Amino acid sequence: MTAATRSRLDRLVFLGPATALLMLFYVLPVIVDVAIAFTDMGRNLEVTRVTTENVARIFGGDRRLAQVLTNTLVYVVCTLTLFNVGYALLLALTTTALPDRAGAFFRSVWLLPRMSPSVVYALLWTWVVAPTEYGLLNQIVAGIGMPPLDLKSDAPMLVVVLANGFIGASFGMIIFTSAIRSIPQHLFYAARADGANGLQIVRHVTLPQIRWHLSFVTLYQALSLLVSFEYIWLITDGGPFYDTTVWALYVYQRAFTSGQYAYGAALALVLVAAGIVAALVLWRFFDMRALLQRPRIEVS
């Protein structure tokens, strides 16, 4: 067996299964979605004609899409910046500054929502923001003499962002904690010897060293938030009056609740295109190509 043949065989053995899974679970569903989007498939799953009416409806016939798009942008941007990246980074910096046991304890606490079923987590949030006197938030505000609150009606997007943010921050926390612990200690010693304080060390040592991890978490979580609606569906069901309906949830409602499978497929196709554009923009913004280059050792 020649070296070239062995190389091709190795690629087939190691990359073949991954390529097959990629085609089966990622590429093929997109192809099927494109095919359904240009039909009139309904609840009976019958296709009688090929049409572009679904695309025309997206670009002018559906008056709710402007509100849904606005909700999606607010949900993704706020949850991503405030929690999935911002709060996750704060947790990682804080817990790594604590003694090892204390830091591990607090990280374990923040991982508890990840280990609980989604329905249980959603029910807890429903109890927290319940507008009755038995809701946890209203019990707290009643104790300090404030009137009861109804956040699910008055500020539903805030509830959605908080619920998704607190559970989403744990992912970035683990990634950032691992990255911070991998920074060579002599960099911190040198910074302290030069008289740098804690904030200066974070700015000039920690953040530059974990730049790749910040970029990865931002890119991954942005794409994840674009297609997530699980907790929104369980806590608010997209309401009240579509105030928390994001694009992914709207796709589900149109396809599986209303039985408009072809229109849901067209909406999902827009989401796929938006995800690709967002990935390319963030890839370019964070210069991921340079970050993924192999390290070079230069000798002068």
What mean pLDDT comes out for the span 230-235?
A: 95
Residue 12 lies in a domain: no
Residue 203 inside a domain? The answer is yes
**What is the Cα–Cα distance from 247 to 227, expressed in whole angstroms?**
8
In-domain check, residue 286:
yes
What does pTM read for this prediction?
0.89
Task: Give percent of the chain above pLDDT 90.
Answer: 67
Q: With 80 as the cut, is the pLDDT of residue 107 above it?
A: yes
* 182 HSE (CA, 13 A, CB side): 13
Is 45 part of a structural domain of the chain? no
Write the CATH number for 241.
1.10.3720.10
For residue range 122-181, what is the model confidence (pLDDT) as tens digits?
Answer: 999 999 999 988 899 999 999 888 899 999 999 999 999 999 999 999 999 999 999 999
Question: Is the separation of the CB atoms in 43 and 257 below 8 Å?
Answer: no
For residue 197, is it within any domain?
A: yes
Q: Please check whether residue 58 lies inside any domain of the structure.
A: no
Helix (H) or strand (E) segment spanning residue 231: helix 230-235
What is the number of domains present in the chain? Answer: 1
Q: Is residue 25 part of a domain?
A: no
Q: Which pLDDT value is given to residue 164?
A: 95
Higher pLDDT, 252 or 18: 252
Domain that holds residue 260: 67-291
Q: Is the pLDDT of residue 45 over 60?
A: yes
**Any domain includes 135:** yes
Span 172-219, pLDDT tens digits = 999 999 999 999 999 999 999 989 998 999 999 999 999 989 999 999
Provide, for the chain, the percentages of residues in helix, strand and coil under a 3-state DSSP scheme, each rounded to the nearest 5. Answer: 75, 0, 25
pLDDT, average across residues 96-116: 89
| pLDDT number for residue 297 | 55
